[in-house]
Amino acid sequence: MASVSPVLRQWTREGRRIDKQQLGWYGFCSGLPTLNLIIMYLLCFPLQISMWMADSRFLTKSFQYCSVTRPFGANLRSALAISRVINTHSLSYSTEAISSSSPLTNSLYHRISRLGDPKISMIPVLEQWVEEGRDVRQSELQKIIKQLRKYRRYTQALQVSEWMSEANFGPSSGDIAIRLDLISKVYGLERAEEYFYSIPESSRINKIHGSLLNCYAENKSLEKAEDHFQKMKEMDFIETALTYNVMLSLYSRMGKHDKLKSLIQEMKQNGIEFDKFTLNIQLNACAVTSNIEEMEKLLLMMETDHQAALDFHSYFIAANGYLKAGYPEKAWMKLRRSEQVIDNKEKKIAYEHLLTLYAAAGRKDEVYRVWNLYKNLGRVYNSGYLSVLSSLVKLDDIDGMEKIFEEWESVNTLFDNRIASVLISAYCKKGLLEKAFVSVERLFTSSGKEPDAGLWQCLSTQCCIDGEMTKAVESMRKAILTGGPRWKVNRTTFSACLEYLKNEGNLKGAHEILGLLHQRGFCPDDIRSRLEEYLNSDINSGALNAMLGDDKKEENKFRGP
């Protein structure tokens, strides 16, 4: 028997209004005649219609599907969220309030989150969900985007955002801001600017301007960020510390400490009250410059001032500062202090950070202690396994890493290439090539998965070190084939592969791998010409010099398109 839900969903997707009365018995003689005929014809499906009404919120309030899918033109296929002020904080140019009443388990998000590979497209998953006759709500899609961003699955978050627009869900200003951020992360700043200027000027409210500013800051585009910040001030779009924090974070990351201090003074003069992010940015600026005396003064002020909203992030920043300055014991003390101010709702994410910080401090005992605390919180997520495995690698505890990896395998039925990559990369760095390739075969090849470019390049580099040049060349070729826009070729490893092929008399193979690097956009024309000239010469070495040329600043040329 056919389902009514797809018919009703299709009607709404076409931008047609549906009134509550039209779906009830007394509405059959008024309103849209076509829909009335459909409902009268389908009187044998009253339960389906009733359920659809409930799912569409007709039983609680009058509801109209919004058909405005592209108010800003055909370019409305992308999404944004404000990035972090510093690594442990996120700004709140966020979407408008989203109800958290409906759980995400056993839902569309549950199905999406179980896909461990971030390369998997979300579109078929969403389409299959709809084909199964299931309803999709805008609030649920917003939650999914939020969670995907949280775990840095930006491409997938953007795909969901694009699909949301194509499904005739009218975007809020927060949705637009999030899309802008995602476009910047996935496609780059230029595409983000194109999207921003496709929005009618009257619709570019402060939240959207703030999102563009954050894109500039995230990409360290200092001049553009300063110009846009000034424009926002002229438009009276800066009312709180939020926008100032974006610029303060940018100045801190770029080492512009004089500008940071000047902006702090401007905030004081304009009566802009500091929030905890403002204080933590100042704290971080002291930490990265190893200005321990100033860092300690600021931290003491935050501890004594009850309005400073001190939290565990502040102690993490101070611990990083001590580690950078060479004071691991002081770092350890601040980390122990941080545990006393962690809220229950923040324990999972805080413990994940603690694992890596204790590892950086060389405290293996603390890593295992926090790991046990983390596991006692309940379900252990892959992000937790990633943190502890990476921490044990840093501590050179390969045996411990293998045991926890086996634990992960025993409790997880879904493959996560990130966790497998941690194991294999550790084997590479320890020179355990045989274990590394056996693990690739067992974890990836046998399951039909593919390692990412970084892992293939790691294997290629270790093969070069061990003199396994045939494997080195093949691994490098696979790295080039799987490399994404942000991947960067290791020039030393690639030049070693070229020199090996040339010295073996395999010029055809050398030209092929060079052509592949160029074709994939990882090698510009001028550098390719120099390498071709090297391959055609009688010189048996010097590929690396050919790649570097006269200007060693050409390093960034080897990034993807």
**Residues 85, 89, 92, 93, Cα dihedral to 10°:** 40
DSSP string, 183-220: HHHHH-HHHHHHHHHHS-GGG--HHHHHHHHHHHHHTT
The verdict on 80 and 213 lying in the same domain is: yes
The verdict on 100 and 10 lying in the same domain is: no
Helix (H) or strand (E) holding 474: helix 469-482
In total, the chain counts a number of residues equal to 561
Domains: count for the chain: 3
The verdict on 85 and 128 lying in the same domain is: yes
Yes or no: say if 473 and 509 are a contact pair by the CB < 8 Å rule.
yes
Q: Is residue 511 part of a domain?
A: yes
The verdict on 33 and 102 lying in the same domain is: no
Other C-beta atoms within 10 Å of 498: how many?
25
Domain of residue 43 covers 5-55
Q: Is residue 316 part of a domain?
A: no
Q: Is residue 118 part of a domain?
A: yes
Domain boundary among 177, 212, 237: 237
The verdict on 41 and 148 lying in the same domain is: no
The verdict on 19 and 147 lying in the same domain is: no
The verdict on 25 and 112 lying in the same domain is: no
Q: Is residue 154 part of a domain?
A: yes
The verdict on 28 and 155 lying in the same domain is: no
Domain boundary among 237, 266, 297: 237
Q: Is residue 135 part of a domain?
A: yes
The verdict on 47 and 163 lying in the same domain is: no
Q: What is the pLDDT along the chain (561 residues), one digit of tens a residue?
A: 444 455 555 555 555 544 443 444 333 333 333 333 333 333 334 444 444 444 443 433 322 223 223 333 333 223 222 233 333 333 344 433 333 334 444 578 778 877 766 778 888 888 888 888 888 888 889 998 998 998 888 999 999 999 988 887 888 899 999 999 999 999 999 999 999 999 998 889 999 999 999 999 999 999 999 999 999 999 999 988 999 999 999 999 999 999 999 999 999 999 999 999 999 999 999 999 999 999 999 999 999 886 667 889 999 999 999 999 999 999 999 999 999 999 999 999 999 999 999 999 999 999 999 999 999 999 898 999 999 999 999 999 999 999 999 999 998 767 888 999 999 999 999 999 999 999 999 988 777 888 999 999 999 999 999 999 999 999 999 999 999 888 999 999 999 999 999 999 999 999 999 999 999 999 999 999 999 999 998 877 777 887 776 554 444 445 555
- Please state at what angle helix 469-482 crosses helix 453-466, rounded to 10 degrees: 160
- Find the radius of gyration of the CA atoms of the chain: 27
The verdict on 79 and 218 lying in the same domain is: yes
Nearest to 524 by CA among 553, 551, 558: 558
Helix/strand/coil for 13: helix
Q: Is residue 532 part of a domain?
A: yes
User: In this predicted structure, what is the pLDDT of residue 494?
Assistant: 96
Yes or no: say if 436 and 445 are a contact pair by the CB < 8 Å rule.
no
User: In this predicted structure, what is the pLDDT of residue 560?
Assistant: 54
Compute the distance between CA of residue 328 and CA of residue 335 in angstroms, rounded to an integer: 10
Q: Is residue 512 part of a domain?
A: yes
Place of tokens 């992010």: 277
**Which one-letter amino acid corresponds to residue 204?**
R
Compute the distance between CA of residue 227 and CA of residue 212 in angstroms, rounded to an integer: 12
Domain boundary among 13, 32, 55: 55
User: In this predicted structure, what is the pLDDT of residue 170?
Assistant: 82
The verdict on 98 and 173 lying in the same domain is: yes
Nearest to 118 by CA among 489, 386, 440, 388: 386
Q: Is residue 526 part of a domain?
A: yes
Q: Which residues contact 102 (CB under 8 A, 6 or more apart)?
A: 139, 140
The verdict on 24 and 151 lying in the same domain is: no
Q: What is the pTM for the complete model shown? A: 0.69
Nearest to 190 by CA among 165, 156, 163, 224: 224
Alpha helices in 305-412 (DSSP H): 312-325, 328-338, 347-360, 364-375, 382-394, 398-411
